[in-house]
Structure 1
Amino acid sequence: MVNRRWWDVAALAVAAVLVTLTLLDPPVGADDVGVWAATGAFLIVYVAYARWHLDDPPMGHHIAISLLFAAILAVGTSFEPSFAILQAFVYPFVWTTAPTLRSALAANFAIAAALVAGYAAHYGPAGIVSGFSVALLSCGFSIALGLWITRIAAYGQERARLLDELQAAQGQLAAMHRDAGIADERGRLAREIHDTIAQSLTGLVMVAQRADNRLASVAGDAAASARGDVQLIEEMARDALTEARGLVASLAPVDAEAGLPDALRRLAAGFERETGVAVAVSADAAAPGRELEVVLLRCAQEGLANVRKHARATHAEVRVESDPSQVVLTVRDDGVGPGDAVPGEGGFGLAGMRDRVALVGGEFSFGAGASGGTELRVAVPLADAAPDATAATSTAPATTAAPPSEEARA
């Protein structure tokens, strides 16, 4: 935005110089009065009209301002050639406010022609040569300086554009590195849990079984009580082992680089191996883009984690459908249903999923299925159909990469 105060100071300074030059050469005559009148006209045009169109004026206003200044310059110079000092203000003004390069050049030529006309009116035909010489020098300098500054401004705009693109690329690269780091950490945690806690729990189950077998041949109430304790230890260890294996499965990163359908099929295959629950996958929808694919994949992973944890199901289905405006992910099972579970009460999995979907402008629903069991539905808008969600989507990699937990359905 152009600072009007500096232009105000410049206009007043030029007007003061013009009036002072007439006062330095007494006595005051008609020509001096004409200079004062032209100076007043200049200030009136500037204050009442020109200064309000400093910021990218329409072409019509720029032409009108240029012609008014040219006419004032011609009239003032016809009274006193030193009035040509007004060029010091007019040339920079028309360059600064010109909508296009062509309009700036046309304004420069109009001002130069006005100066020649003023000299000719003051000196007669003999003044045309001197006026043309002064106009050629001042207009040539103005055009040279204006083109140079314009080129510098264009170069600065190009650098600013390239800098914005570089910063955007750096942001995308940082998000990709963050995603890769989170995926590596998820894999590391899964391996650590598998190699330490899960293995220790497996050993504890085996020791409990061996102790139970040994106590089976021992008679007496004490032995029976001990067998009960050992069996309880075995049951608790088995439950903890199941939890650990489920946590390992949910933490294990699933690569979405090959596309959402392949990633969902690999996720379903791993889920079947771990739980024995058959999972049908239908994902023939159009690719929604990398960020939205990650959101849908994490939601499917969390949905299957809830099936593992709570549903006691024998079959599950993961379906991805699309229309021109959105992509819909549905996870269904034939288990016991959600009951009175509400997302956010008692756990973070579904609440985190709901927040993750909200970041990309999507919708989330969770409840009992139409034919029993549980149904999880996630709808995310396509980027082309929902441009307002683009800013939110750009934050999705950092959010959607957060490790899903094995919390309760609520």
Structure 2
Amino acid sequence: MPSLRLVRLAVHGAFYVLLAIAAGPALAGTAPVAVLPPAAVLAAVYGLGIVRSARRPGPWLAAVTALWLLLLAMDHGFSYVAFPLFFLFLHAMPVRWAHPAVAAATAAVVAAQAGAPGGLTAAKVIGPVAGAVVAILTGYGYAALYRESRRRQQLIDDLLHTRDELAAAQREAGRLAERQRLAREIHDTLAQGLSSIVLLARAAETASPEAARARMREAGRTAADNLAEARRFVQALTPPALEEAPLPEALRRVTERTVPGAVFRLDGDPCALPMETEVALLRLTQEALANVARHARADHTAVTIAFLDGQVTLDVYDDGIGFTPGDGPADGRRTFGLHGMRERIAALGGTLTVESAPGEGTAIAAAVPVGSGARPREAAGEAAPAGPAARPRHTGAAA
């Protein structure tokens, strides 16, 4: 941490400043110059230990202490160098050794001061002892700051690690969401279109020449539509059906094309919906009608869209053979249709209900909330009146 490095630099700087002050009289010629060589060696050894930062500082610390004691024995002026050494002892040694080392260094200073002119006085004892106490208290504060800095650094490391994990989870969630989107789009467009082409081709095999040509023309149109769908959903653009007409008219065309003879019904005044809502309702209708065409064997089918106050509802009803909701196909195949429908509607905050029973037909009802800012608009065409098979609309359906 920057604050801890600053404290270390301050201690090292104090050592060299006090060492220079103690050696100053010898440099000025007022004290024996014999202290200069060991003082220079002490400065070099201390600096070498700072640069190398050995994991086991014992030998280095012993050398520094021995050189300092030699200088202290030669000149009591080196007593002041003991103060930064106190911090060195407290930092580099265990507590059980640091405190005795500080006490011994203090005793050495007091002994050196006793041999100075004027003999031993109270001030010469109180000064070194006070300096040792201050060093110990400061050392404890430094240790607390060091521990706090370590904990803070550990917390920062944990936060960075958590952030990286969160970013990875978000990337994975985005990848899965895009995979789900592509799965829904492929199932509701390409898969349904290919199924229709297969059915049309099979029908053409046993039909008269004129009917066979009509089936093949319809297969060609279906293939062209699905090609356009594929190009657009890869780029996440508006489906072609919604580019060409408003939602009610697009639903009418899908109904007439997928299940000939099916009834389309519009209730209420159409309003502009968010594009994702229109796409979800269109895909739901395509999937439900494709299931009717392939499996239901229904005599009557009805699609109803209703624009109500605060929500839009969509019902798809058929009087076919029905099924038991929750049961998969008899051959054990994995299906995606109803699951994809629920995901689409749930993503918009809506609800989806599927009502069916063997021999009782099937009703799929979806309700999606509409914002208060929706604007009325005219439908592209008049809705066909509901036929006798049209099932009453499910308002407020929940899933």
Normalised TM-score (structure 2): 0.46
The structure richer in helix per residue is 1
Higher-Rg member (1/2): 2
Normalised TM-score (structure 1): 0.45
